[in-house]
């Protein structure tokens, strides 16, 4: 991965990749939402409420996946001093927090007609809420120090420590007796979801993933440009006294 560590090389790759990820994400969102909201059948128990699944489930998957990405990037920054790892972790954190918020909000919208309450202190819901707080803590801690390097290091440690919550979220429905339904897709016996619902869900999941990659590239590109501007500003400030003496 160190061959991508050069900011200039990374920005060239990002500029080439971004139009494809953004364009495919848009197309998949259009196709996935039409397939999910118009074509896919209603559930015999949940009725049209089941359609919330096509927004909620991919958001929940990305909430876990993005935090895993942040933890891995943080480990790379701490252990191997990868120069872009910190930038990637910082860029991904707000995006992951938004996915987690969408998962919580759509879960509440689904829970009201199904459970009769907007929120219950269910193991799955509570662990996802804790994940959201880890995202917020990661962003806050990175800005809590006057020295940005210390802030990023502290945030990286928190991200790695908080990763323990990811398997808790994933397996909470198996470890505890919860109101949340058990896994119906990623399970040992194979998916239990009908193909008419599984395919649009897969399209939406891919749309979410490409959307995340697009946002990540944008945010990393902007962070690298800001860093370049700061370097130029510092160079100008250092050059000003020398010019005055000359």
Q: Is 173 helix (H, G, I), strand (E, B) or coil?
A: helix
CA dist., res. 21 & res. 243, Å (int): 47
Local confidence band at 178 (pLDDT 50, 70, 90 cut-offs)? confident
* pLDDT value of position 114: 83
Cα–Cα–Cα angle for 214, 102, 133, rounded to 5 degrees: 95
78-130, pLDDT tens digit by residue?
Answer: 998 887 999 999 999 999 999 999 999 999 998 888 888 888 888 899 999 99
* Model pTM score: 0.90
- Report the chain's mean pLDDT, rounded to a whole number: 88
Q: Is the pLDDT confidence value at 3 over 70?
A: no
Q: Can you read off the two tokens belonging to residue 188?
A: 């040992």
* pLDDT value of position 141: 94
Q: Can you read off the two tokens belonging to residue 154?
A: 């502290």
222-240, pLDDT tens digit by residue?
Answer: 999 888 887 777 777 666 6
Cα–Cα–Cα angle for 122, 126, 130, rounded to 5 degrees: 170
Integer CA distances (angstroms), 148 to 11, 60, 90, 237, in order: 22, 30, 12, 20
Is the separation of the CB atoms in 119 and 109 below 8 Å? Answer: no
**Under CATH, which number does the domain 50-182+195-239 receive?**
1.20.120
Lowest-pLDDT range of 25-34, 173-182, 193-202, 225-234: 173-182
Q: Can you read off the two tokens belonging to residue 128?
A: 């996802």
Is the separation of the CB atoms in 138 and 162 below 8 Å? Answer: yes
Place of tokens 């809590």: 144
148-162 and 123-142 helices, crossing angle to 10°: 170
Integer CA distances (angstroms), 158 to 70, 100, 133, 140, in order: 10, 17, 11, 11
Lowest-pLDDT range of 8-12, 173-177, 189-193: 189-193
Q: Is the pLDDT confidence value at 68 over 90?
A: yes
When pLDDT is averaged across residues 170-196 and rounded to a whole number, the result is 73
Local confidence band at 180 (pLDDT 50, 70, 90 cut-offs)? confident
């Amino acid at each position: 991965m160190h061959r991508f560590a050069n900011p200039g090389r990374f920005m060239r790759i990002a500029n080439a990749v971004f139009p494809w990820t953004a364009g495919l994400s848009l197309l998949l969102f259009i196709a996935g939402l039409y397939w999910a909201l118009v074509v896919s059948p209603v559930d015999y128990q949940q009725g049209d409420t089941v359609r919330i699944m096509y927004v909620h489930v991919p958001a929940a998957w990305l909430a876990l996946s993005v935090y895993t990405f942040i933890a891995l990037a943080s480990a790379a920054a701490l252990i191997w001093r990868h120069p872009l790892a910190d930038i990637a972790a910082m860029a991904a954190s707000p995006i992951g927090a938004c996915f987690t918020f969408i998962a919580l909000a759509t879960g509440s919208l689904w829970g009201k007609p199904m459970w009769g309450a907007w929120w219950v202190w269910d193991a799955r819901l509570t662990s996802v809420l804790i994940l959201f707080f880890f995202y917020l803590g990661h962003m806050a801690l990175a800005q809590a120090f006057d020295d940005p390097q210390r802030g990023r290091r502290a945030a990286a440690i928190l991200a790695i420590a908080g990763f323990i919550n990811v398997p808790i979220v994933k397996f909470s429905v198996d470890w505890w007796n919860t109101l949340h339904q058990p896994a119906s897709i990623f399970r040992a016996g194979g998916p239990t979801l009908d193909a008419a619902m599984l395919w649009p869900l897969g399209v939406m999941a891919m749309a979410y993933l490409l959307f995340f990659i697009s946002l990540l590239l944008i945010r990393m590109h902007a962070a690298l440009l800001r860093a370049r501007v700061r370097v130029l500003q510092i160079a100008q400030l250092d050059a000003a006294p020398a010019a005055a003496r000359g």
